[in-house]
Amino acid sequence: MKRREFVKKTAVFAAGGLVVPFILPTGRLFARTNTPKADHVVVVIFGGGLRQQDSISQRYLADSQGFNVEGNILYNILEGAAPSSKIAYGTTPAGSPKGSQPIPKLLSQSIQKQGTIFAEMRAISGGHYGGLNSVMTGSGVEGQGLKVRPVNPTMFEYARKFGGFKATDTWFVGNGIGNSTPLLNSSKHPDFGLNYGANFFAPSVTFGGDGRATLANAKIYHPQEELEPMYKMKNFLDNTFNIKAGDIPGIKNTDEEKTRVKDFIDETFRRQMLGQIPSPPVGGGDSSTIGYAAEVLRVFKPKLLVVNMSNIDGCHSDFTGYLQAMHKADHAMGFLWNYIQTQIPEMSGKTIMTFVPECGRNLKHNPILDENDWFGYDHGDANSLRVFGGMVGQNVPSNLMVGSESSPIGKVTDITLTVADILGFKDEVVAAGIIDSQARSLFDRI
């Protein structure tokens, strides 16, 4: 081989070695490091601060208001008999005492029977923001300001970078636009960030009155005759304006994905008018958020969807409302699991749903009394770090309870690694070295 030919071939191979990994779909460089446990993951943040005593311990009013009334008001998730007196956690039929009508059990088998419950886990923070951050990022970092993106990568960014997923494969359905919720779909980490962020919307705004007035009348353009030339011109304009990708706010969908999402927005308003958005039988509040999450699952069949509930946080000043919101959240989560299994054939039997609150609530009450003269509970003390979680679905052991009050097992930071484990890139997330060093996949806790 002549010298010139040798140099040429070497250069070609070297260039190929550099280029080929980047032309693999969405920049994925390596093969998956572990066998995926399921094709899809749904994470439910049973959020707003769930007090351990009132939920998994099934103490109802016994450890909170001084009445000797115990019972399970989360009977779609947990096994256990419901309270037999002082029923205030249900709905309110006309002419009946408030909350006196418990919502009928929706699942034929509880999540506990179908899957695995981690009875005593630990939260990273006793506050919402630190708690949500720790669930979404798997990081133990608490100290960062409100209204900023997380410092460390979210589970979406790991999924897109290491799993090679598109933006429309990852969704975060939020309970609103307050605090930092709309910023939790992506971090500002220099190695991850918006290029790997998830699609996000807050149904109460996007598809509420504001959204309807702003979006519902949008023109639907013909994909080839109109959208294609429009995007061609836009892409030309963008190429002649060299701004750094990170300077453009928001995550990025491809042109093709944008068309799909626009169709989704249009169809959602139409289905909303026709009353076709899936919804738990007992609706309102968090139930509505769950309904729109089900709609995303139906349309996009994403690899990863996170939905955030928060109504139980009313416990600060309304303990009765907190019990009702908790009961309704159990109903909504049961609905979502049932919807996946019965209404989305592409996801049925191929999905794992996992859930955890971002934090618990205080041991001692505050001085605020509600209409039943029951005390409210804030969050922030050591008891607020006591939480429970679980998972259900493909490859999840059934009818298993892990850990107990005397033997805590699991942390909320486990969720990110559990998602990575389920989708097949756990080792890469660990190797990135950013998550809580004590975090484990919940599968490894069993």
Partner 1 sequence: MHNFKLLIFISVFLFMSACNKNENKVYEVQNTPSYGDNLNKNKAKSNIEYHSILTTNLFQKPSSVNELTRTDRVIQSFGDKALINEVIIGNYMNTNSVRLPSRKRMVDSTDLFIEETYVRFFIRKPTEAERTWFRNYINANKSNPNFKPELVYTAFAASDEYFFY
Residue ranges binding partner 1 (CB under 8 A): 167, 172, 174, 177, 182, 185-186, 197-202, 205-206, 210-211, 213-222, 225-226, 229-234, 236-238, 240-241, 243, 247-253, 258, 261-262, 265
Q: How many Å apart are CA 310 and CA 129, to the nearest integer?
A: 12
**Of 8 and 234, CB closest to partner 1:** 234
Cβ contacts of residue 244 below 8 Å, gap of 6+?
none
Q: How many Å apart are CA 63 and CA 69, to the nearest integer?
A: 9
* Shortest spacing between CB 294 and partner 1, in angstroms: 18
- Name the DSSP letter for residue 118: E
**Of 235 and 395, CB closest to partner 1:** 235
**Of 1 and 243, CB closest to partner 1:** 243
Radius of gyration of the chain (CA): 23
Counting Cβ atoms within 10 Å, is residue 185 exposed (0-12), middle (13-18) or buried (19+)? buried
Cβ contacts of residue 160 below 8 Å, gap of 6+?
26, 166, 167, 169, 170, 196, 197, 198
* Shortest spacing between CB 162 and partner 1, in angstroms: 20
**Of 250 and 349, CB closest to partner 1:** 250
* Shortest spacing between CB 175 and partner 1, in angstroms: 11
> In this structure, how many other beta carbons lie within 10 angstroms of the beta carbon of residue 167?
23
**Of 33 and 259, CB closest to partner 1:** 259
* Shortest spacing between CB 299 and partner 1, in angstroms: 15
* Shortest spacing between CB 397 and partner 1, in angstroms: 34
**Of 36 and 163, CB closest to partner 1:** 163
Q: How far is CA 234 from the centre of its chain?
A: 33
3-state secondary structure of 171: strand
* Shortest spacing between CB 220 and partner 1, in angstroms: 8
* Shortest spacing between CB 141 and partner 1, in angstroms: 22
* Shortest spacing between CB 89 and partner 1, in angstroms: 31
**Of 258 and 445, CB closest to partner 1:** 258
**Of 3 and 222, CB closest to partner 1:** 222
Q: Indicate left, alpha or beta for 26 from its phi (over 0: left) and psi (-120 to 50: alpha).
A: left
Number of H helices, E strands in the chain: 13, 8
DSSP letters, 258-284, are: HHHHHHHHHHHHHHHHTT-S---SS-S
* Shortest spacing between CB 223 and partner 1, in angstroms: 11
Q: How many Å apart are CA 142 and CA 11, to the nearest integer?
A: 48
**Of 104 and 229, CB closest to partner 1:** 229
Residues in a beta bridge with 202: none
Q: How many Å apart are CA 289 and CA 275, to the nearest integer?
A: 15
